[in-house]
Chain A
Amino acid sequence: MSQALANKSKAAVNKQNIVGKVSNKVNDLMQVNRKDSKIAMAHIYVAMIALLLGGTAGLLQVLVRSGEFKLPWGIGYYQVLTVHGVLLGLILTTFFIYGFQIAAVSRTSGALSAKQRLLCWIGFWTMTTGTAMASAMVLLNEASVLYTFYAPLQAHWIFYLGLTLVVVGSWIGGLGQALRWMQWRKENKGQTSPLLSFMVVCNNLMWFVATIGVASEVLFQLLPWSLGLVERVDILLSRTLFWSFGHALVYFWLLPAYMIWYVVVPKVIGGKIFSDALSRLSFIMFVLFSVPVGLHHQLTEPGVDGSWKFLQVILTMMVVIPSLLTAFSLFATFEIRGRALGGKGVFGWLKQLPWGDARFFVPFLGMLVFIPGGAGGIVNASYQMNQLIHNTIWVTGHFHLTVATAVVLTFFGACYWLVPHLTGRTLTKEMNRLGIIQAIVWVVGMGIMSSAMHVAGLLGAPRRSAFSDYGGADIASTWVSYQIAQAVGGTLLFIGILLFLYIFVKLCWFAPKGQEEFPIAEVAPNAEKTPAILENFKLWIVILVALVLIAYSFPIFDIISNAPLGSKGYKLW
């Protein structure tokens, strides 16, 4: 990170902290601590660099796949695709989420202690070093293995080591955040902990359990293999370990968006949280049903018995319950608020909502897009229907609705208050309006790109493939017009990224100084008290571990005991 930039924002935050001191103590908790703001912003800067580079890679991909454009200077399509997946799927998300979560914990549980803060910084630098190592290998074309790095394609060991550091760094930083929540619990015995901090701890717990699988894959299989210490790896085991992490990864992206929907958006519209207990319950359910579900990504693979796949399909579908709880709670909050403002009739309350406020409008669009995104997800995880769309570009269309729209738009919307809050500036009317335009550009662009991907996928077009006419096959020619539509949508999305980064830069360094609120809603007065059991993480960890063991022990035992000759590494790019 540029030291000059960091110093400048530090100076701004410093100034506002002095103002805070003379007002009152309550304000100290309303405002994220100055030192914590600095760590949060450090994470967010890295996330934004990843957004710019990863987004550029995305633009190149859709252009290449339209058949009208070729990459210059011998750059490979799959190298660009690796950049896109790693930077947007892993780096943008993880860094933004940690920036947001550190601010969220500091805002709701209080400033981090020196030790907790140090852990967050160590985590940050470990993750950043790892990102730089992995990126260097991708740029040198030593690691065009995509962000899922399936063996036996073998990347340079520095790539695997870099990713390991990203994960290890995330454990350290995540621990720093969780310790602050534990400290709050110790200091406030018998009380219900701050909802937002609780949610952060849920997400970090899930992340920790989920990453054990992928860390084992990299540390015990891929690293020794790429270093030449072992000759062969067990392919199916590596894929199974990867996917025990891979689906929890998508919930790790989603839960911070849910935090914003549950806790921040109600405050933005002037309403209350519908129910503290139900919010916590839905987070706990996400944690429980995040890891023991990965086989639904491997439905068409040999070597795993159908019954075990089916068991994990059932566990996957349990996510329907917290999703429905969430949808109900959010729309209940909106309706109650709309009616309090005088909205009449079945839908009249909708008109009362603050559509002109980017902090509401942008994440709201994300929520709407999540509905078709979730519906498509049910198709994907359906035991038999999966065969029609597995590894087609339908799947790419699906997660561009869920992560790249529902989650990303929510993160964009959060930046409009989070960034000025952390940098001691304010969201101007002009930037608010640009934020709304940005979200519309995003939804239109994604609507075009994702719809075209869904349809082309149903017609059989594979994902993760450069342009090809497949030997002049008739069906492949029907895909081309959809690929051109993807290029149009993708170009709009790239414009959306530039627009967002313009707003981001303004909010970091040029917007008027002042105090922007970090909105935290209160629980509705008539909501019932939260049962203490929801905060009993020991219980939930036991259930989570039990579910993981039930879902995975036998399949993994079976994979290992029936393993064929392992695979040597290949570098086919």
Chain B
Amino acid sequence: MHLHKYEKYWLAFGVGSLIVFLLITGIMAFHNGSHPPSAKNTINYEKVDEIAPFNNPGVHKVEGKDWDYEAVVVASAFYYDPPILEVPVGAKVKFIATSKDVVHGFEVAGTNINMMLEPGYISEYVTTVDKVGEYLIVCNEYCGVGHAQMHSMLKVVEPK
């Protein structure tokens, strides 16, 4: 099949950029470990309250792990438990969340902490909270009539 000379340049440029783009994304993912939340642990969604760590929602300091704090969140229509998460600035935090009923979202607005919460699955994301402030957490997956009222707060504070 014949390609026009300019079309060859155009396609070479386009495909070249595509390869560079995919390489960068791939290196970020597989070398730097920057994956979107893809945890694979499951849970009985009807017994979330009885199963650790969700029997004790909140922020917990942990030792001997790759992260300093675990922020455990239970979502259900139409609220998050606990309503406020407080972590010291600079801490490496693992967010661990699940849903007790329908699909919810867990988005810390204005950051890249953003994961789907699905009944039966535990969602996890590890990140360093490097800026002091109050961050709104919103449900970004339609979950019913109270969806837009479903929110909580992440407070990143100076260490005491």
Contact = CB atoms under 8 A, between A and B. Distances in A.
A382 B142 contact: no
Interface in A331-380: 332, 378
Interface string A276-319: 01100100000000000000001111111110011001100100
B89 interface: no
7 contacts: A150-B142, A152-B103, A301-B116, A474-B134, A476-B109, A570-B144, A572-B145
B131 to A, nearest CB: 13
A139 interface: no
Given A153-B102, A300-B115, A387-B114, A313 B25 contact: yes
Interface of A: 76, 78, 81, 146, 150, 152-153, 235-236, 239, 275, 277-278, 281, 298-306, 309-310, 313-314, 317, 320-321, 324-325, 328, 332, 378, 382-384, 386-388, 390-392, 459-468, 470-471, 473-476, 527-528, 531, 562-567, 570, 572-573
B151 A471 contact: yes
Contacts of A462: 105, 107, 138-140
Contacts, number: 230
A70 B30 CA distance: 48
B141 interface: yes
B36 A300 contact: yes
B128 interface: no
Contact of A302 (B14, B37, B44, B140): B37
Nearest to A313: B25
Contacts of A473: 109, 134, 136, 151, 153
Given A302-B121, A320-B14, A152 B102 contact: yes
Contacts of B70: none
B144 A324 contact: no
Contacts of A471: 151, 153
B29 interface: yes
B28 A324 contact: no
B148 A467 contact: yes
A563 B138 CA distance: 27
Contacts of A468: 148-149, 151
A2 to B, nearest CB: 36
Nearest to A467: B148
Contact of B120 (A310, A391, A476, A565): A565
A378 B144 CA distance: 30
A567 B119 CA distance: 7
Interface string B20-53: 0110011011100011111111111110000000
A563 B38 contact: no
A306 B125 CA distance: 13
Contact of B110 (A390, A460, A567): A460
Nearest to A558: B40
B72 to A, nearest CB: 15
Contacts of A239: 103, 118
B11 interface: yes
B1 A281 contact: yes
B15 interface: yes
Given A150-B103, A152-B119, A471-B151, A388 B42 contact: no
B147 A384 contact: no
A567 B120 contact: yes
B103 A470 contact: no
Contacts of B142: 78, 81, 146, 150, 153, 464-465
